[in-house]
């Protein structure tokens, strides 16, 4: 019912996210093991490649968002970003060295960085302000469906082919190119009236001052909250800590992402009706609950339950944070706004996961999740203090 009022291009962009995530997760869920067991890479090499890849994506986002504002077009950059990611997919089954994997991951993450901010700005351009929550909730749900379908398909194909990594990687090429075709033929960019004046480059003081205080408050709050939300890899480590075998380890992420995908869109629709702040506060409270379950749960039941609650909190916060950026960014600086938002989140996420690693080593699993709960509680207090003043 709600989808009837959603522009066709927004729905197609949701499917694009799903198809590309299916492709990426089919590869990424197996890539670390493939690098170590087939190509002979060390754990250090895996970490360095992944770290450089993710940093590249975060840095690229700011530039692509700025360029989309400057040229006044979003779709070409979205198409280039998804196209680059699709073109890298065949490099993975063809790779016979760590260098080849590094090149493929580097180009793939550049593609992700190029498409991220312009895509979110395009979604904002296509809908009314009253649809921001639903639009970003839909995109988040579809993206997350891909995040759990990819590993499921990868596991099934590995079983059917007796661990033929390269075959699975070749199959992953198909949904990536389907995503690109969907953008090329299905996504329409809204027409904008041109004033005939040359647009100033967005990264300069005269332009950045146009971003309202409320936008910077959203960015500051999101960055602070990201400190409480370290990598889901620590959920897997906690599951291993209480005895879950490696064979069933993907079930943690599958459960988390099923819950995440199931609630993101309904929460987005609800936020357009009753407001975002109350739902966002509830999502942060759920993160505190998930951290407590992970910290003190001594059995697999509590770990699986904690993963489900973690997914619920993701579904209640991720789309809403993007919708808040859309609410508070001027139309001609939306790409720049999403670029800055994603860049700062990426930097803080790296800090959060590094800090979690230090805490895990020095204080153990319980200390890591207790610290996460404390950071989340501080964020919740900050949200409640800002509610109705700057965070709108």
pLDDT above 70 for 353: yes
pLDDT tens for residues 198-242? Answer: 666 566 666 667 788 888 888 888 888 888 887 777 887 788 788
Determine, yes or no, domain membership for 1. no
Q: Each residue of 68-105: pLDDT tens digit?
A: 888 888 899 999 999 999 999 999 999 998 889 888 88
Three-state DSSP at 244 gives coil
Classify residue 391: in a domain, yes or no. Answer: no
**For the chain, what is the mean pLDDT?**
84
Is residue 4 assigned to a domain? Answer: no
CA dihedral 61, 67, 68, 69 (to 10 degrees): 110
Report the Cα 146 to chain-centroid distance in Å: 12
Question: Quick check: 315 and 193 in contact, CB under 8 A?
Answer: no
Q: Looking at 134-138, 218-222, 343-347, which range is the least confident one?
A: 343-347
Mean pLDDT of 5-23: 91
Q: Nearest-CA neighbor of 179 among 10, 23, 8, 6?
A: 23
pLDDT of residue 251: 80
pLDDT number for residue 23: 94
Q: Which one, of 309, 370, 338, lies nearest residue 113 by Cα?
A: 338
Q: What is the pLDDT of residue 195?
A: 53
| Range with lowest mean pLDDT among 48-62, 316-330, 359-373 | 48-62
Question: What CATH number is given to the structural domain containing 126?
Answer: 1.20.1250.20
Beta bridge partners of 391: 387
Give the pLDDT confidence score for residue 80 in this predicted structure. 94
Helix or strand (DSSP H, E) at 47: helix 43-71
Per-residue pLDDT reduced to its tens digit, 247-266: 677 788 788 888 998 999 89
Identify whether 227 is part of a domain: yes
Its pTM stands at 0.78
193 belongs to a structural domain: no
pLDDT per residue over 271-291, tens digit each? 888 888 889 999 999 999 999
pLDDT at 1: 47
List the single range of 10-19, 44-53, 194-203, 224-233 with lowest mean pLDDT. Answer: 194-203
More confident residue, 144 or 204: 144
Q: What is the dihedral of CA 261, 391, 126, 258, to 10 degrees?
A: 0
Give the pLDDT mean for 283-305: 93
Q: Decide which of 31 and 370 is more confident.
A: 370
Average pLDDT for residues 56-66, to the nearest whole number?
77
- In degrees, to the nearest 5, what angle opens at C-alpha 353 toward C-alphas 219 and 293? 95
Question: Tens digit of pLDDT for each residue in 320-336?
Answer: 998 898 888 888 788 88
Question: Is position 54 within any domain?
Answer: yes
Q: What is the DSSP letter of 392?
A: -
| Residue 196 counted as domain residue | no
Q: Which residue range is the domain that position 208 belongs to? A: 9-187+202-386
Residue 82's pLDDT is what? 95
Quote the crossing angle between the two packed helices 8-28 and 98-126, to the nearest 10°.
160
Residue 13's pLDDT is 93
Q: Is residue 344 part of a domain?
A: yes
Number of domains in the chain: 1
Q: What's residue 4's pLDDT?
A: 67
What is the rounded radius of gyration, in angstroms, for the C-alpha atoms of the chain? 20
| 8 Å CB contact between 84 and 101 | no
């Amino acid at each position: 019912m709600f989808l009837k009022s959603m522009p066709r291009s927004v729905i197609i962009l949701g499917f694009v996210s799903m198809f590309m995530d299916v492709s990426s997760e089919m590869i990424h869920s197996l890539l670390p093991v493939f690098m170590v067991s087939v190509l002979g890479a060390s754990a250090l090499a895996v970490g360095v490649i992944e770290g450089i890849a993710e940093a590249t994506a975060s840095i690229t986002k700011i530039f692509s968002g700025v360029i989309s504002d400057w040229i006044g077009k979003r779709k070409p950059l979205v198409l280039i970003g998804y196209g680059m990611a699709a073109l890298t997919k065949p490099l993975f089954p063809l790779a016979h060295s760590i260098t080849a994997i590094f090149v493929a991951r580097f180009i793939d993450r550049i593609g992700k960085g190029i498409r991220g901010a312009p895509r979110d700005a395009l979604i904002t351009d296509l809908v009314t302000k009253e649809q921001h929550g639903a639009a970003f909730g839909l995109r988040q749900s579809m993206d997350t469906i891909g995040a759990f379908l990819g590993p499921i398909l990868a596991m099934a194909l590995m079983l059917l082919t007796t661990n033929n990594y390269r075959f699975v990687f070749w199959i992953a090429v198909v949904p990536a190119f389907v995503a690109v075709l969907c953008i090329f033929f299905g996504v329409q960019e809204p027409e904008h009236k041109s004033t005939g004046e040359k647009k100033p480059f967005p990264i300069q003081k005269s332009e950045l001052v146009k971003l309202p205080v409320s936008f910077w408050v959203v960015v500051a709050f999101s960055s602070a909250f990201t400190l409480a939300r370290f990598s889901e890899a620590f959920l897997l480590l906690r599951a291993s800590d209480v005895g879950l075998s490696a064979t069933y380890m993907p079930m943690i992420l599958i459960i988390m992402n099923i819950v995440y995908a199931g609630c993101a869109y309904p929460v987005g629709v609800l936020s357009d009706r009753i407001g975002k702040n109350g739902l966002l506060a509830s999502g942060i409270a759920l993160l505190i609950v998930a951290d407590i379950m992970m910290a003190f749960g001594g059995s697999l039941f509590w770990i699986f339950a904690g993963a489900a609650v973690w997914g619920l909190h993701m579904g209640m916060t991720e789309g809403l944070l993007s919708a808040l950026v859309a609410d508070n960014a001027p139309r001609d600086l939306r790409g720049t706004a999403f670029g800055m938002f994603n860049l700062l989140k990426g930097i803080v996420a790296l800090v959060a996961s590094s800090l979690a690693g230090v805490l895990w080593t020095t204080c153990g699993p319980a200390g890591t999740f207790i610290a996460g709960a404390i950071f989340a509680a501080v964020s919740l207090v900050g949200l409640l203090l800002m509610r109705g003043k700057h965070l709108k």
